[in-house]
Amino acid sequence: MYCSPTTATMNGHQQQESESEHFSPYRHDGKLYGFVCVVTGATQPVGKAIVSELAAHGAACIYACSSSPSDDYAGLAEEVNKQ
């Protein structure tokens, strides 16, 4: 069964998207100030790239990593904050 992007079927009941279907997290200037993003794998190359891109657009980032709590993440924070 195909569901269009504007509707979905759940338990036989059709649900419509909320009024926020045209919501965009970007402000008119394209920035993400005021948004907090949780990024998993932030010490891995892809995670670092995602954190860097989000931070470059003004988002605050929380790094969720499976590394040991004793690891020092200051280097990652310094690298991102240089932008």
In the beta sheet, which residues pair with residue 9?
14
Identify whether 70 is part of a domain: yes
The single-letter code of the amino acid at 19 is E
Residue 66 inside a domain? The answer is yes
Is 29 a domain residue? yes
In a domain, 49, yes or no: yes
pLDDT tens, residue order, the chain (83 aa)? 444 444 455 555 555 555 556 666 666 777 888 889 999 888 888 988 898 899 888 888 888 877 766 666 777 778 777 76
Residue 11 lies in a domain: no
At 41 the pLDDT is 86
Which domain covers residue 32, as residue numbers? 21-81
Cα(66)–Cα(43) distance, rounded to whole angstroms?
9
pLDDT value of position 42: 82
What percent of the residues of the chain are helix, what percent strand, and what percent coil, each to the nearest 5?
30, 20, 50
pTM: 0.57
Say how far apart CA 35 and CA 29 lie, in whole Å: 14
